[in-house]
Amino acid sequence: MERDACTKDGTINIYGKPAMKRKTGGWKAGMLLLVSEGLAALAFTGVEVNMVLFAKSVLRQSNAEAASTFSTWVGTLNICTLVGAFLSDTYLGRYMTCVVFQAVLVIGLVLLSLSTQVFMLEPRGCGRIGDTCNQLSPAKLATFYISIYLLALGSGAIEPALAALGADQFDEEDPAEKKSKSAFFSYYYVALNLGSLIAETLLVYIENLGKWVLAFWISTSCGLLALIFLSSGTCRYRRVRSSGNPFSRFFQVIVASVRKLKLDLPSSGEGLYGARLNDEEECARRLQHTNDFKYLDRAAVLTPSDEVLLSNKGQSPNPWHLCTVTQVEEVKCVLRLLPIWFCTIVASVVFVQVLSLFVEQGAAMNTKVSNFHIPPASMTAFDIISISTFIICYEKVLVPLYIKMTKKEPQTLTELQRIGIGMVVSIVAMIVAGLVEQRRLKYANGREQSSLNIFWQIPQYVLVGVSEAFIYVAQWEFFASQIPEGLKSFGLGLSMSSSALGSYICTIMLSLVMKVTTKNGEPGWIPPNLNEGHMDRFFFLSAALIALDLVLFIACANRFKCVELEKRDEVKETVEMP
């Protein structure tokens, strides 16, 4: 009865003992993490969503410079997901990683709020649209960049650890909890977007009035509340033991396989070394041997010296000379994921433009509805609403409809198929954005602001939202399912970091486009006055790039082989140890 009361996936409680199902995990712990994520998203998005306007009004940057600053910052944010994933899986554990970097996020918010209040808004009342502030000194500018990059570090490092910690609260070997674990990623993304929705409506409106100080202090308060909610579940969370440095385990396989280049490989993986699981590691699930990347199997080939060492009881092999089959398969898992990961990078270019070029496009349109001016950045609310609505309706409406139309039950769309559909939708979104920009230019008539109403942007925001819901949720589920338990944070971090490189690609594209198109006295595609440029061409260029990436993704997806995990009660030793 006591064994049945414990989780079967090997998770532990705060004291390092097997986690009890009734006292740990489940939706009680999961809800605390979802609320914390929603508040943290609200805190960060309150700064992120209007960063382009802040860079133009307060830092006095041009349209292209502001978009480049934003893309680089968001890229760094997403690169920091790998930092958090590494520390989570290796040293700190998922819970401590969340606590430490949530505190870093709060410190960055406090520094940004204080610096904005004390010296950034000069003269007083500046910072509204069309009302720029004085040029900042290098020291003041450095303070601003330190604060926002602390935000990037804190927010980025939290994401994979928090998502993985939430998934840990559900026992994958319990059928009921396994279903909840799959649903957690969808609800996690909904919580993230609902927090962002509040920021993109309420806080954006406050910021557009030039009340940056008030908005930033609201964000700071939400960040502090997120830390409090996260800490309140300390005794309830289920934890996974750290599996060691993933990079050293990765390179151990590479080095060991290179050392044995001259050895013959056994057929079908027979005779390869498999270490016996000890009591502390009984939660680990063995990976079945696969025949791809066969040259790596040499790392698990037993040499005469290895057999002599293993024949002495209590002796452990040197991991730089001999690795287990599971360790080799972990490396293969990562290598299989890299082509898919690479293909999702270009698709992320679209999502970066939502908070940069889309906002700049909206600012050059008619934002007036009766006597109310719609903040251009608040149009991202349509993106958030479409994401949340789509995720909630997917399982209850779209999946049953798909099964009814295709008569395939219970099989539904795979994660890779959903990513591919998301790419197609993102192509359509970029084409629609380009057509809207052409129409905006038609109604500009030489004025800085076009007479075309900003609500013309709704279709492109909705399409981008549907694309995000398809790509991001499926990508998280796919990477989480195809990476070993001990490296789950790393897998989610790798998934999230694709957005980082997408941001950098967007920055490079903007720089190259401006460099090429500003020759011979031309203003370029994205000049300070958008009516003199051709931002529509940049949107069409993005659509073409994603279309090429989609072709590559289909080729990689067709060649991908899913990893298979052995159940613990079915594990057999590859080599019987003396």
User: Which range is most confident: 123-127, 247-251, 452-456?
Assistant: 452-456
Residue whose token pair is 């993304």: 189
pLDDT higher for 472 or 494?
Answer: 472
Q: Are 276 and 389 contained in the same domain?
A: no
Burial of 358 per CB tally in 10 Å (0-12, 13-18, 19+): buried
Give the pLDDT score at 515.
Answer: 85
pLDDT of residue 433: 92
- Is the same domain home to 343 and 361? yes
Which residue in 278, 242, 281, 283 sits closest to 10, CA to CA?
283
Q: Are residues 184 and 104 part of one domain?
A: yes
Which of the residue ranges 271-275, 295-299, 374-378 has the most confident prediction, judged by mean pLDDT?
Answer: 295-299
498 vs 345: CA distance, rounded Å: 5
569-578 long-range Cβ contacts below 8 angstroms, 24+ apart: 571/277, 571/285, 571/286, 573/274, 573/276, 574/269, 574/271, 574/272, 574/273, 574/274, 574/289, 574/325, 575/271, 575/272, 575/273, 575/274, 575/302, 577/275, 577/276, 577/310, 578/310, 578/311, 578/313
Domain check: are 447 and 300 in the same one? no
Calculate the average pLDDT of the chain: 80
What pLDDT was estimated at residue 9? 65
Contact status, residue 101 vs residue 154, Cβ threshold 8 Å? yes
Q: What is the pLDDT of residue 173?
A: 73
- Check whether residue 203 and residue 235 sit in a common domain: yes
Across the range 88-106, mean pLDDT stands at 88
In this model, does residue 310 exceed pLDDT 80? no
Greater confidence, 246 or 104? 104
Q: Is residue 578 part of a domain?
A: no
**Do residues 253 and 219 share a domain?**
no
Same domain, 28 and 131: yes
> Average pLDDT for residues 256-270, to the nearest whole number?
77
Residues 482 and 494 in one domain: yes
Confidence of residue 284 (pLDDT cuts 50, 70, 90): very low
Residue 504, pLDDT > 90, answer no
Cβ pair 190, 30 in contact under 8 A: no
Within this chain, do residues 305 and 287 fall inside the same structural domain, yes or no? yes
pLDDT digits (tens, 9 = 90+) for 178-223: 777 777 877 888 888 888 888 878 888 888 788 888 999 999 999 9
pLDDT of residue 129: 67
Average pLDDT (227-254) is 83
| pTM, 2 dp | 0.73
User: Do 163 and 81 meet the contact criterion of CB atoms below 8 Å apart?
Assistant: no
Distance between start and end Cα atoms, the chain: 34
Residue 278, domain member (yes or no): yes
1 occurs within a structural domain: no
- Among residues 170, 168, 160, 167, which one has the least CA distance to residue 246? 160
| 462 part of a folded domain | yes
The mean per-residue pLDDT over the stretch 517-541 comes to 83
Task: State the SS3 of 202-248.
Answer: HHHHHHHCCCHHHHHHHHHHHHHHHHHHHHHCCCCCCECCCCCCHHH
**pLDDT confidence of residue 26:** 84
Q: Would you say residue 435 has pLDDT above 80? A: yes
pLDDT above 90 coverage of the chain, percent: 17
Amino acid, single-letter form, for residue 204: V
| Residue 234 pLDDT greater than 50, yes or no | yes
Q: In this structure, is residue 180 part of a structural domain?
A: yes
Q: Answer whether residue 419 shows pLDDT above 80.
A: yes
Q: Which domain holds residue 406?
A: 8-242+331-559
3 domain residue, yes or no: no
Q: Which helix (H) or strand (E) holds 372?
A: strand 372-373
Is pLDDT at 576 greater than 50 in this prediction? no
Assess if residue 552 is contained within a domain: yes
Tell me the C-alpha to C-alpha distance, in Å, between residue 277 and each of 229, 552, 572.
37, 40, 10
Exposure string of 319-340, with b = 16+ CB inside 10 Å and e = fewer, is bebbbbbbbbbbbbbbebbeeb
| Placement of tokens 């908070």 in the chain | 355
Lowest mean pLDDT among 219-223, 271-275, 438-442: 271-275
Range name among 267-276, 297-306, 516-525 with the lowest pLDDT average: 267-276
Residue 569 in this model has a pLDDT that exceeds 50: no
Q: CB of 52 within 8 A of CB of 66?
A: yes
Question: What is the reported pLDDT for 278?
Answer: 46
Assess whether 238 and 378 both reside in one domain. Answer: yes
Q: What DSSP designation does 565 have? A: B
CA distance 389 to 507: 31
For residue 145, what is the domain's CATH number?
1.20.1250.20
Total tally of structural domains belonging to the chain: 2
Q: How far apart are CA 359 and CA 352, in angstroms?
A: 11
Both tokens assigned to 361: 């496009």
- Could you tell me the sign of the dihedral formed by the alpha carbons of 541, 547, 549, 551, in that order? negative
5, 171 contact by CB (below 8 A): no
- So what's the pLDDT on residue 471? 87
Residue 577 maps to a domain: no
User: Tens digit of pLDDT for each residue in 14-57?
Assistant: 887 887 877 888 888 889 999 999 999 999 988 887 787 888 88
Chain segment 4-19, per-residue pLDDT in tens: 577 776 677 788 788 7
Task: Give the total residue count for the chain.
Answer: 578
374 and 355 in a single domain? The answer is yes
Residues 306 and 321 in one domain: yes
Report the DSSP beta bridge partners of residue 453. 366
- Residue-wise pLDDT for 367-408, tens only, equals 887 777 787 877 878 888 888 888 878 777 777 776 777 666
Residue of 233, 465, 500, 225 whose CA lies nearest to 342: 500
pLDDT of residue 315: 65
